[in-house]
Amino acid sequence: MMEKSSSRVLFSLLYCWVIVLAQSLQEKESHVIQLTKENFWSVVQNESCVFVEFYAPWCSHCNKMVKEFEQAAEKLKDKAVFAQVDCTQEKELADELNIEGYPTLKLFTHGQFEKDYFGKRKANDMISFVRGSITSPWKVIENESEALQLEIKSRNKDSGCLLIAYSKEEVDQKKFLGLLDKVSKPISVAVDGLNMFYLTTNATLWKAICSFYHVKDNMNDNAILSVRHYPDAIGGPPLVSIQKWTHDNNREEEEMGRFVRGSVFPPLSYLNTTTVHQFKATKLPILVAFIKNVSQMDSQLFQVLDSISKDMLGYVNVVLGDWKSLGSLRRQLSVNDNESDVSAIVMHIFEKNKNFVFPRKSTAPKVKALKRWVQGVLDGTIEEFRRSEKPPMPNKGVPKIVVGETWHSIVDDSNKDVFILQFAHWLDKSREAEVIVEEIAKELISYSDKLTVAKMNAVDNDAPSPYFAKKYPTMHYFPAGSPKVGIPFESPITRENIMQFIKQHATFPLQHIQKEEL
């Protein structure tokens, strides 16, 4: 009996030792490194490519992708560094990098942040994303047979786009190819464009390609040819454009970048919850026509959008917004369910996070009218759209209520300091901040001729784009003067911290606030 008991104990110990050893070996073999505040920037700055996952141990989505992330790291172990940051332990670093959800994946190249990753959390998808950032997306073609295969492939692919570059002189090739890489890398992976970019240095082949697409100009120059097929639901011959490149042009990078970014999507392609991140990667504004049924789209509206798409290539992406899947966004922009799709046209500038709504009409707009409006948006002469509830009447309580349309009259009042809270009722943290701000507003009511303490329901109202609430609660202090510039509150939310913040930035002395209260 004793021998059996001893054997069981020995077996249990041996089993535990094997498990510990296996776990130890697994940890040693991991190709993912852990980063902290102490080593983060030294790793990022000393490695050419670092792909970082910001996670929380309790996050189920993070735990699901552990194996996929490890597989991708092992596959690219000689080409890129894969790393993780535990944001529950590295809160300061997470705040510095504006990490607001888990997992968040960011790519850093040559010491600088390059782009966020929004793709699938599968090994192959992450591998393609990282690999595309460290290798040139441009592939060389050498004969007409290869060129013909590209055309067939582009027609069958969902992307429906093809870019072919030609470089004729060796003295210019290095600079030309360097520019091509520079302008195309940031977007090639985001738009799944690894099989979209091609290059030839063969003059005879280049002329044959130009002839195939009926291009007669620039056949003897360094240039980029763009071929974009309409989505199947629309059909029609492809749109073909060509951009000449001259090394004497000081704006060559800007012009080449605009042409490439404008050519990576089919004309009148679809905007939905999946493709929105791809359009954002091009850094071009989008003109969105919300369409209920593409096959039944108003013919005049199609002609107008098609014309704008051709005329403003590289300046604006003209897209068809899916009426149903983008319903929430559509309603935020006041495009209601019962409206006609010929009147549902909006424009969004990603880099400034601004929305613009084309004036509603019962019929499709004219080309000149819509183009003039789009140009006005680009020039900054069209006022941005902001959601707004009806202003409360009267508005004499404390704190003062701000809605979208009264932001200018209250917050931008150059004669008074303004402290404003943007909140969401459904968040506990937001409600706690609202209670604190209400108490402070009552305490500072004797300064109401110099200071306005205000609050705004940011779920149903929009602040101007520089102060648009990306998280709740959001607080700013606007000292009196012109122009009014808001100072963000970034400390832990307590009554003492908010009072100290107000006193620090006030343009007048808050004498009655005792030091011990702060």
202-252 pLDDT tens trace? 888 888 888 888 888 766 778 899 988 887 777 778 888 888 876 656 677
Whether 200 is in a domain gets the answer: yes
- Say what the pLDDT of residue 11 is: 53
Please say if the pLDDT value at position 518 is more than 50.
no
Phi, psi of 25 (to 5 degrees): -65, -40
Q: Pairing between strand 474-478 and 417-423?
A: antiparallel
In a domain, residue 261? The reply is: no
Q: What is the mean pLDDT of the chain?
A: 84
Token pair in block for residue 126 = 């992450």
pLDDT at residue 161, rounded to an integer = 84
Ordered alpha helix ranges (H), 30-142:
40-46, 60-64, 66-75, 91-96, 123-134
pLDDT of residue 469: 87
Do 104 and 170 sit in the same domain of this protein?
Answer: no
The percentage of residues in the chain with a pLDDT greater than 90, rounded to a whole number, is 36
Kindly state whether residues 330 and 415 are assigned to the same domain. no
- In this structure, the answer to whether residues 62 and 158 fall within a common structural domain is no
Q: Among 134, 161, 188, identify where a domain stops.
A: 134
Which domain CATH number covers 446? 3.40.30.10
Stated pTM of the model? 0.66
Domain assignment present for residue 119? The answer is: yes
Tell me which DSSP letter residue 266 carries.
-
Query: Residue 376: which pLDDT band, with cuts at 50, 70 and 90?
Result: very high
Is 148 contained in some domain? Answer: yes
Reply yes or no on whether the pLDDT at 21 is more than 50.
no
**Which run of H or E residues covers position 488?**
strand 487-488
Residue 280 gets the label, from left (phi > 0), alpha (psi -120 to 50) or beta, of: alpha
Domain tally, the chain: 5
Same structural domain, 2 and 46? no
Give mean pLDDT, residues 492-515. 85
Sign of CA dihedral 282, 286, 290, 295: negative
Of 191 and 16, more confident: 191
Alpha helices in 201-298 (DSSP H): 203-212, 252-261, 276-281
Query: Does residue 384 form part of some domain?
Result: no
**CA end-to-end distance (rounded Å), the chain:** 73
What is the per-residue pLDDT for 486? 95
The answer as to whether 392 is a domain residue is no
Instruction: Find out whether 307 and 331 touch, Cβ atoms under 8 Å.
Output: no
Which of 54-58, 165-169, 394-398, 423-427 bottoms out in mean pLDDT, i.e. has the lowest? 165-169
Closest CA to 160 of 258, 233, 224: 233
53 and 82 co-located in one domain: yes
Q: Is the pLDDT of residue 25 over 60?
A: no
Residues 42 and 85 in one domain: yes
Last residue of a domain, one of 134, 150, 175: 134
What is the per-residue pLDDT for 115? 82
Predicted pLDDT of residue 68: 94
Question: Highest-confidence range of 18-22, 211-215, 294-298, by mean pLDDT?
Answer: 211-215
- In terms of domains, do 468 and 439 share one? yes
Looking at the fold, whether 279 and 229 belong to one and the same domain comes out as no
Give φ, ψ of 217 to 5 degrees.
Answer: -90, 155
pLDDT at residue 322, rounded to an integer: 84
For residues 410 and 312, state if they share a domain. no
> 3-state DSSP helix/strand/coil percent for the chain, to nearest 5?
40, 20, 40
The answer to whether position 388 is within a domain reads no
Q: Is 278 exposed, middle or buried (0-12, 13-18, 19+ CB in 10 A)?
A: buried
Question: Is residue 390, in this structure, part of any structural domain at all?
Answer: no
Q: Are residues 158 and 243 in the same domain?
A: yes
**Measured CA angle at 467 (ends 464, 472), to 5 deg:** 120
Residues near 111 by beta carbon (within 8 Å), at least 6 away in sequence? 44, 45, 46
Inter-residue contact 230 to 236 (CB < 8 Å): yes
Instruction: Give the domain extent around 16.
Output: 1-25
- Phi then psi for residue 180, to 5 deg, are -60, -50
Burial of 275 (0-12, 13-18, 19+ CB in 10 A): middle
Q: What is the pLDDT of residue 504?
A: 94
User: Last residue of some domain: 94, 112, 134?
Assistant: 134
Query: Please, is 234 exposed, middle or buried when counting C-beta atoms within 10 Å of its C-beta (0-12, 13-18, 19+)?
Result: middle
Question: 155 and 216, same structural domain?
Answer: yes
Residues 36 and 127 both lie in one domain: yes
